[in-house]
Amino acid sequence: MEQLSSADPRKLGGIAIVGRLGQGAMGTVYFGVTPDGEQVVVKTVPPLDGYTPLSHKANRESEYRQAHAAFTGRLNRGKNSNRA
């Protein structure tokens, strides 16, 4: 796990972001801790304007994770302005 840079969020959706796990074409993956102490992986994607192959892939991944929630854990899909 890498340390956070000054540009990385410290909190997303109430989850404290602790470190960076990786980055690729689909976005950045962080390690986080929920308010109740649960350790989670948080994946962010860049802002998408309209339909693009990336937005289609992100939507498909989100739908798959929702359909298989018992195996993939929590999912919070949507815009997040809580980047404090």
79 φ/ψ angles, rounded to the nearest 5 degrees: -75, 145
In a domain, 2, yes or no: no
In a domain, 82, yes or no: no
In a domain, 39, yes or no: yes
Q: What is the pLDDT of residue 69?
A: 57
Containing domain of residue 20, as a range? 11-72
Residue range 21-80, pLDDT digits in tens: 999 877 899 999 999 999 998 888 776 666 566 666 667 776 766 665 555 555 555 544
Burial 26-51 (b: 16+ CB within 10 A, else e): eebebbbeeeeeeeeebbbbeeeeee
In a domain, 3, yes or no: no
In a domain, 1, yes or no: no
For the chain, the domain total comes to 1
Residue scoring higher pLDDT (7 or 81): 7
The pLDDT confidence band at residue 82, using thresholds 50, 70 and 90, is very low
The pLDDT confidence band at residue 83, using thresholds 50, 70 and 90, is very low
In a domain, 21, yes or no: yes
